[in-house]
Amino acid sequence: MRIQPRHSRSRAVSMVHPTSLASHHFQPPDLPIRRRSRRAKAGWVQQWLNPPAQFWPAVAEAIAWMICCFVLRLGADWLLAIAPTLWIPVALGLVSPAILAIGLSAWVPKLSLVLGYRLLLTAMGLFLGGKL
């Protein structure tokens, strides 16, 4: 019984000419690919920009907007109390909803009513957060 050295196997593989491997094309298996169209990607934006059609979901959304802005204002006041030098980024953060709503209403005029409604809720939440 003869034992072959380890390097003989690797030498045999390295002796294969590279062009002989080119004739065997590798075909990857057909896997299902989940691709979303642009319309599907933009669907959640459209859903978010449209107001709820029923009364109670609209009330829940209004309460959610006000509470989020209330908490944002409390967090901004807390951050300014800790680090007063951050007043510029905090001010930009508090003004950004209004800037965003004005910009979107200029680019997408049919959304101006929805954006105005949400801007009003944002302003009310920021105002109530500042009064606390």
| Predicted model pTM | 0.57
**pLDDT value at residue 81:** 94
> With 60 as the cut, is the pLDDT of residue 58 above it?
yes
First to last CA, the chain: 91
**pLDDT value at residue 74:** 92
Query: Residue 100 and residue 96: Cα distance in Å, rounded?
Result: 6
Residue whose C-alpha is closest to residue 72's, from 98, 90, 59 = 90
